[in-house]
């Protein structure tokens, strides 16, 4: 079990060396990584964040392709990390293994469900780590812990050997402290060739989302805008109200009558309806995947998780076809199932981050863009922090 020396990040520590000759020049040579306890690793029981799950499942007989890929890329595995039970939370807490310590803000939660993987990177225990992201489980802890987190396009990194939460939404993601390592890991997992960075043709800012911030805009949007202007010119910047865009382009949302779609402050009602559709789809697939096991074993679950799990198990599949239609329409409208969380320093001693999206399949372009932007972003962050004092 995890201890204080590792900030509570690990459930189990061990070393698995790269499956390659030490003389080979490989993209991840010399790097260390940790793995969320949701990935199968041959000879180890995949714990899924819960001792009852570990007790009722045998050791894995194969290793997940995503883990094999980074081992083949030259990296050394240092162990398995704490996660929210059954991956069904975004907080980062675990009743059984403890809550990993948020290095940026020790009195705050680290974010989940890939909490231990984020803390292992944030605490400099490893160079990068693997997690999963269904509805934010890499991007949220990356943001909370002040590190980089990447959710790739759905379906482009194999989820074989990964316990599913909701397979229509599940992705394999990863964390790093700097953009170079984030990019190198991504190119291994995505099997991308080395290419010269491509200049983006436009960058769109969802203004209504940023209006909900409780911190000054210069600490987020202004930092990003000034960095883009410096590198690429202000002419590529565009602005959109995401709420209106979703309302106009995802007509099936009208079936969610409980979420009012008429105009209101910042017009976030369509986004709230979208969130409802996502939660219903996630709940249905979770029930199909794990409902029988939960009903039979009746696992010991922490507060919050227990209520959520049992609500899913007892739910009906109402509106699930409509949820799939919403997902299809949103994909067509935004082509934006890809996201990366970029740290933007701190405000009031708490980490600040911004999330960038690119169209489905443009993972390599986004990885290169992050690496290109990152140095200039840090310069603008320093200026913004000086102005705020």
| Catalytic positions, written as ranges | 36, 113, 137
DSSP 8-state symbol, 255: G
Q: Can you read off the two tokens belonging to residue 139?
A: 């991007």
> What is the residue-wise DSSP string for 181-238?
HHHHHHHHHTTPPP-PPPPPS-EEEEHHHHTT-SS-GGGTHHHHHHHHHHHH-GGGEE
Cis peptide before 140 (omega within 30 of 0): no
Judge contact between 137 and 149, C-beta under 8 A.
no
C-alpha–C-alpha distance, residues 21 and 172, integer Å: 26
Sheet hosting strand 350-358, strand order edge to edge: 10-16, 76-81, 32-36, 128-133, 171-176, 148-151, 338-347, 350-358
Distance of CA 344 to the CA centre of its chain: 17
**Helix, strand or coil, per DSSP, at residue 287:** helix
**Helix, strand or coil, per DSSP, at residue 364:** helix
Distances in Å between the Cα of 198 and the Cα atoms of 172, 186, 369 are: 25, 16, 8
CB within 8 Å of 269: residues ≥ 6 apart: 243, 259, 260, 261, 262, 263
Identify the helix (H) or strand (E) that includes residue 311: helix 305-313
Q: Are strands 171-176 and 350-358 parallel, antiparallel or unpaired?
A: unpaired
CB within 8 Å of 64: residues ≥ 6 apart: 39, 40, 41, 158, 160, 161, 162
């Amino acid at each position: 079990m995890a201890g204080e020396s590792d900030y509570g990040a690990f459930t189990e520590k061990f070393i698995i060396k790269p499956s390659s000759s030490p003389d080979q020049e490989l993209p991840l040579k010399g790097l260390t990584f940790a793995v969320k306890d949701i990935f199968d690793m041959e000879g180890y029981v995949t714990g899924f964040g819960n001792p009852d799950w570990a007790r009722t499942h045998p050791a894995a007989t194969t290793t997940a392709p995503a883990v094999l890929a980074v081992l083949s890329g030259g990296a050394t595995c240092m162990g398995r990390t704490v996660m929210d039970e059954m991956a069904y939370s975004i907080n980062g807490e675990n009743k059984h293994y403890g809550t990993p310590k948020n290095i940026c803000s020790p009195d705050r939660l680290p974010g989940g469900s890939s909490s231990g993987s984020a803390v292992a990177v944030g605490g400099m225990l490893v160079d990068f780590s693997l997690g999963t992201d269904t509805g934010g489980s890499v991007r949220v802890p990356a943001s909370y812990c002040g590190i980089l987190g990447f959710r790739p396009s759905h379906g482009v990194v194999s989820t074989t050997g990964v316990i599913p939460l909701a397979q229509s939404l599940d992705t394999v993601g990863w964390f790093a402290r700097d953009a170079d390592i984030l990019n190198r890991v991504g190119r291994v997992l995505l099997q991308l060739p080395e290419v010269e960075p491509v200049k983006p043709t436009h960058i769109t800012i969802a203004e209504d989302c940023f209006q909900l911030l409780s911190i000054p805009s210069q600490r987020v949007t202004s930092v990003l805008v000034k960095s883009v202007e410096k590198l690429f010119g202000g002419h590529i910047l565009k602005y959109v109200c995401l709420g209106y865009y979703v309302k106009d382009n995802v007509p099936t949302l009208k079936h969610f009558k409980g979420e009012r779609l008429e105009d209101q402050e910042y017009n976030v009602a369509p986004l709230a309806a979208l969130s409802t559709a996502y939660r219903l789809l996630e709940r249905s697939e979770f029930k199909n995947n794990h409902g029988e096991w939960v009903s039979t074993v009746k696992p010991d679950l922490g507060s919050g998780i227990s209520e959520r799990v049992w609500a899913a198990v007892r739910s009906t599949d109402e509106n699930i076809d409509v949820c799939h239609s919403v997902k299809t329409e949103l994909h067509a409208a935004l082509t934006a199932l890809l996201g990366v969380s970029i740290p933007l320093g701190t405000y009031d001693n708490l980490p600040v981050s911004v999330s960038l999206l690119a169209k489905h399949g443009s993972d390599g372009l986004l990885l290169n863009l992050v690496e290109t932007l990152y140095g200039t972003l840090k310069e603008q962050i320093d200026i913004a922090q000086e102005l705020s004092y």
